[in-house]
Each structure stands twice: as C-alpha cells, then as structure tokens.
Amino acid sequence: MLRFLLGRVAVTVLTALCLTFAIFALTNLKPNLVKLAKTEAETRMSDEEVERWIERNGYARPVLLRYGEWLGVMPGWEGGGTAAIPPRCKRAVPDGAEIPSYCGVIQGYFGFSTTFKADVSAIIGRALGLTGWLMLWVLVVMIPISLLMGVLAGMREGSRLDRTLSTIAIATTATPEYVSGVVLIVVLASATLGVSPILAELGLIETKTLFMGTATSAMDNITFWNFALPVTTIALYGTGYIARMTRASMAEVMTAQYIRTARLKGLSFRAVVLRHALRNALIAPFTVIMLQFTWLLNGVVIVETLFNYKGFGWTIVQGAGNNDIELLMGCSVVAVVVVLATQLISDVGYAMLNPRIRVS
Amino acid sequence: MESLGWGQIFFGMALRFLPVWIAIGAVFVVSIRMRRRLGLYGKLFDSGSGMVGLAIVLFWVFTAIFADLIITHDPLGQVSGMKNALPGTPMPDGTNPYLLGGDNLARDVFSRMVMGARRVLAIAPAATAFAFMVGITLGLAAGYRGGFFDIAQTFLANLVLAFPVILLFYLLVTPAIRDSWIVTSLAAVLFAFPIVFFVLLWNSRYRTDARKRALSIGLTLAIGGWVYSGLAFNADPTGIFRMDPNLLNVFVSVVFVNAPTVFRIVRSLTLDLKTREYVAAAQTRGEGAWYIMLWEILPNARGPLIVDFCLRIGYTTILLGTLGFFGLGVSPESPDWGSTINEGRRLLALFPHPAIVPALSLMSLVLGLNLLADGLREESLRD
C-alpha cells in the first residue's frame, strides 16, 4: 500500500510540474506578453516600446529560467524593480527583513498579481474562501439528491419511477450552467417575467424579485435568497450525471446472486435495498463524485461570472483576460492540486471501499 | 400590422420550418419501413426515447441544412426601431415581423438562432470525429501493445485531462495565439491522425493484395493530403478546403480537449477485448498487430463507441457554447448560440428573449443527442 501511494504521489508531482510549466509557457508566448505589456503600460504603445517594456521587466529572459525562479529552484531575478513594486525577492518578505535569494512557490511565495496589484496568495486565499462556501452548498445539495435519485431509479429497473427519474437525469446533463443559470434568472429573479411579478402583485414578497439575480451580496452575507440560484445552477448539471452512475451501479447490484438469496430468504424489499444493496451500490458513485470536482471547477467559473460572485472562478477569468501570469500560475497550482488530489483520493478510496480490490 | 400573439408566432415558426418537417417525416417513414434491415439504427425505432432523441437531432440537422430557406431576415442585418423588440413585433414598414423579437443590436433573434444551428453543427460533429480518430488510433495501440508506449500515452492523456478546460481555452483561443506556431503545429499533428488511421486500416486489410493495397493507400494519401494541406496549413492550391483561422483555433482546442477521454475509453475497451478467443485465433493465424487492432478489436468495440460518439457531440456542443459564453474565438457578429447567450445575459432581467432562445436551442440539441445515445445503448445491450 505504501509503495502504491508513493508511486502515485511521484506521478502526481511530475504531472503537476508538467502542467504548471505548460501553463507558464503558454502565458509567456509572445502575443500574450504583448497583451500584458499593453494592459500594464499603455494600450497605444508602438512595437519598439512593447519590446523595450518586455525587455525591461525581464520577460525576455529564457522561459525555463523564469519558470525555475517562479518555482524557487533558481535565484530570484534582481532587476526590474520600481519604487512601488520592488524586485521579486524583496516583495516576498516583509519590509526590513533580509532578502532571500530564492523566492518561489517552494519557498511559499506565489508572486504578485499585475491586475489587482496585490500578492497572489492573498487574492487566491480570499477567492478560495468564497468559492469554498459555494462548493460546500453545491455538494450539500447535489450529493444526497443525486444518490437518492440513482438508488430509487436503480432498485426497480424499468419501472415507471425509473423511467421518470432517468429522463430527469438526462435532461439535467443536457443543461450546461450557462443555460440553466439564464433560465433560472428569468423565471425566478426577473422583475418583469417569471414568477416574481405575480408574487409581488399578490403582495407575497416585499422585494421586486423572489430570488436575487446576482450573488455579489453573498460575498459578505450568504442568505437563501442570494445563494440558492448559483448553487442550484452548478448542482443541476452534476446531479444527473451522478444519478445515472448510481442508477447503473444499483441496477447491477440488484441482479447479483446475494440479493436474490436475500430475497428468497424472505427479507422485505426495503431491508434488501437498505442493508444489502446500498453499500455495494455506492462504491462506484464515490469515484464519480470525486472525479466530478474537475467539472465543478468549470461550473464555478461560469456561475461566478454569470452571478458576479468574486470567487476563484471569477479570479481565473480576470487573470486570463489580462494575462496576469503569476495570478494564473497561482490559480493553476490550486486547480491542478485539487484535480490530482481528488484523483488520488478516488483511487485510494476505491481500493479501500471495495473488498475485491487489494493493492499488493 | 399589429404585433403577433403567441399562437400566431408559433404558427409562423412552424410554417418557416416546413422543409424541416417534411425532411424529418421522410426520414422516419423510410426508416420505419426498412427498420429490420438497418441494424442498430433500425432498432432505434423500437425505443420511445431513442425516437424522440433522433427526431430532435434530425430537427436541428435539417434546420442547419435548410437554414437559408428558414430564416426570415438577414441574421446580421440591423433594422432601426427593432432594438430589443418583443417577439412578434412587425418591421417598421409593417410587414414580415421578427418572430422571436430583436436583440440589443436590433437583429432578428429567430434568424440568428437558425443560423447558429448551422455553425454549431458544422463544428461539433466534425471536431468529435477528429477526436475519435486520434483517440482510437492511440488508444488501440496503447491498450494492445502496452509497455512503455502505453505508460507514456496514459500519462499524457491524464495531463491534458487535469488541465483546467477554461484556462486552456483562455490561453489557446485568443486572437493573438491564433497566428502563432502552437495552433498550427497542434493542427498539423491532430489532423494527420485520420490519414494515419486510414492508411493503417487499408494496409492491414490488403496486405496480401498488392494492387488493392497500392490503390487504396494511394487514394487515401492523395485525398487526405489535399484536405490536410488545406485545413492545417491553409495551403490547398485549389482553395476548396480552407479554414478561417478563428475557426481552426476553436476546432483544434475542442479536439485537443476531447481526444484524451476517447483515448481512455478505447484503451480500456481494448484491454478487455484483447483477451477474447477471436483475438487469440487471429494471433495464431499470424495476422499483424494492426490487423487485429483495426479489424478484430475495433468492430467489436463499436457499440460503446457509437453511444459515446453521440454523447460526445453533445458535450462538444456544450464546450462550444462555453467558448462563446466567454467570448472566445468567435467574431462578435457570429450567430453561434454561446456568444448570443453571452450578449443577451446583460439585459436578461429586462429583455430575456435574446438569451433564452439560443439557451433552449442548445439545451434541446444536447438533450436530443443524450436521448439518442441512451436509446442506442439500450438497444445495443438488448442482444
């Protein structure tokens, strides 16, 4: 088990290095650097001025060297500082402290965001806190509903309940976040359409709309009315997928020999489902839920943009739009770590949950 | 002329879609008549949800084909006075109403939705097909051969899969990157796979028949090379096959994101199928490795692959919509559904129709594809 784990961790670290380097190289392509120069200095710069800006700020040095500096295996660049923004390694430590020669991710310094003019770790920390709440509620809503749907559909394959739930599941997987978000806003959070005008006319709600069409206020204070729509939007897309996987797994378990034995023993259908089938049927969905995190990241980016909630997804969009290299690198480290960690957990968890698999 | 009521709007739209109804009807009548002779496709007509799915997909396919007949206005034309017009509003001169209203640039929402179908259906199935060519060729080899090649391939596939899709799109699908060597070289690699696939296919089949072998490989190389030079390098001398750089950029990114998942599916199917007796029999007969992969394993893996193909077209449609939603890789005038949703969402609370129409269109197309895939899966499992 230990060797298996160590091997997996080694592959994971290698993957993370390759991915971050790929992203670093992409953000440092010439056209992207020109974009950065123009947003940072001035939009109407001539080509020579852009060249000089790139040269002066150290972006013209070899990519591999600068990746090493970012990672912290190469001494930090000492040039390019201004009074407001000192060179890299001086920024990494508080004023007056001794300036280290290495200052990268390994040393715990994630760099400086050119868009927000602040430390990347501070920005990402705040954004992750906000997105954490969103994800928490998404999982709280999505997992019980989808598992229940899957188990109910799969326990009697082909029944009317199964057909209804399966159709609902297919419909939700066909509805990407930018569609369900738009539909939900129109139906529930529009002052002129959907249910809100009717309710307002009847005097049932005091505000103009039932739900709020943006989640900006949820950044300070989460309420049901400002958070329900973004959470539902993300949860909807994943629910159908997990439900279908659970249904398939449940349907397979229900045809197993030991379930027949339990039925022939005279146990009630309820007891068979709850005591014998459920645990085995939930092994496969566990992996699916874990791997679902990658898709949740996509959903988070879309929903945070749509509902103007300034979390992690919104930060990625801002960083990418302005080619904010160090902010994007910080975001990709988080994204890659989340994806790889969930893959690792799902593999290990699958092996632990499933008695038939033993890692030797 | 007064504004139309909802009844008139739906009647008007149904009338505009007349060529589509006729075509769907014709396909259904012919298919149901001949369904016992059409294999898996014919069996689809035994499953209710499969038929519904097929009908929805056919609706959009024929809408894309007959788009020029269906549209009521120029999808790019702006008519003053029609800005954010409500559905059914007649033109200022009192004729030919905007059936589904106008958008914030006073263009006809209905015509843009119809033209958007053409754009989506021009990219999604083709991009999915390319992703399948890449995934099948590499997945078969990795699963069948195993060893270092397999380990390296799986590592690369997992690498791409761990890449946050949106970030990849932001970095790859920008006008600045469009002209750089990255997209061109990605296109050069990805677009070569269909040629490689077919050359391997014919080469292994006609190993003993030199004439057929030379003919089929020669034809593949000639036609493939022609299309390839046009699509990947925009160097087709006749100019028939060419791709707008924007489109090429979107296309390549979508293929790049989809191929690793197909690779993983094909690889695991191959790992399962290569232990079967007919593979052992072929090995004993002394068949070549590629013959076994392409003519023994692949045909037996077709069921799950066809189902996944349908699902993946839907997924690609969603990806294209995501690109449009973030305003990536499309010209601002483009009527594709994702960017129309993005434009419409700014005034969503006041004028929802410009965003809702493409949103529901996209949803219905993906739903149709999912139902179709579900029907195919059910019917292919039945025997």
Which has more confidence, B99 or A255?
A255
CA distance B163 to chain A (A): 7
Q: Kindly provide the ipTM of the predicted complex, given to two decimals.
A: 0.85
Tell me the pLDDT of chain B (383 aa) as tens digits: 567 778 888 888 888 888 889 999 999 899 888 888 887 788 888 888 889 999 999 999 999 999 888 888 888 878 777 777 777 777 777 677 787 878 877 788 888 899 989 888 988 999 999 999 999 999 999 999 988 999 999 999 988 888 888 888 888 887 767 667 788 888 899 999 999 999 999 998 888 888 999 999 999 999 998 888 888 877 777 777 777 778 888 889 999 999 999 999 999 899 989 889 999 999 999 888 999 999 999 998 888 898 899 999 999 999 999 988 888 876 767 788 888 888 888 777 778 888 889 999 999 999 999 999 988 888 877 75
A265 CB-contact burial (10 Å; exposed 0-12 / middle 13-18 / buried 19+)? exposed
Distance between CA B250 and CA B256 in Å, rounded? Answer: 10
Q: Does A213 touch chain B (CB under 8 A)?
A: yes
- Residue A167: how many other CB atoms lie within 10 Å: 17
A83 pLDDT higher than 60? no
In single-letter form, the type of residue at position A10 comes to A
Which DSSP helix (H) or strand (E) runs through A227? helix A224-254
The single-letter code of the amino acid at B331 is S
The phi and psi torsions of B331 (rounded to 5 degrees) equal: -75, 150
Contact A105, A17 (CB under 8 A): no
Distance from CA of B203 to the nearest CA of A (A): 36
Question: What is the phi/psi pair of residue A357, to 5°?
Answer: -105, 125
Predicted pLDDT at B366: 94
Residues in contact with A349: Cβ distance below 8 Å, sequence separation at least 6, in sequence order: A286, A287, A290
Residue among A338, A317, A319, A318 at smallest CA distance from A327:
A319
Q: How confident is the model at residue A360 (pLDDT cuts 50, 70, 90)?
A: very low
pTM of the model: 0.88
A-proximal residues of B, 107-166, CB under 8 Å: 155, 158-159, 161-166
Of A193, A302, A313, the CB nearest to B352: A193
Question: Which B positions 336-355 lie with beta carbon below 8 A of chain A?
Answer: 338, 341-342, 344-345, 348-350, 352, 355
**What radius of gyration, in Å, describes the C-alpha atoms of chain A?**
26
What is the H or E stretch that residue A81 is in? Answer: none
CA dist A280 and A270 (Å) reads 15
Pair A302, A290: CB distance under 8 Å: no
For residue range A125-156, list pLDDT tens digits in order: 999 999 999 999 999 999 899 999 999 998 88
Bridge partners (DSSP) listed for residue B89: B98
Only one residue has tokens 């940072």, namely A40
Residue whose entry in the numeric block shows the structure tokens 């640039």 = B105
B185 touches chain A (CB under 8 A): no
Question: What is the residue-averaged pLDDT of chain A?
Answer: 83
3-state secondary structure of B132: helix
Is B162's CB within 8 Å of A340's CB? yes
Residue B208's H or E segment, with its range, is none
Phi and psi for B361 in degrees, rounded to 5? Answer: -60, -50
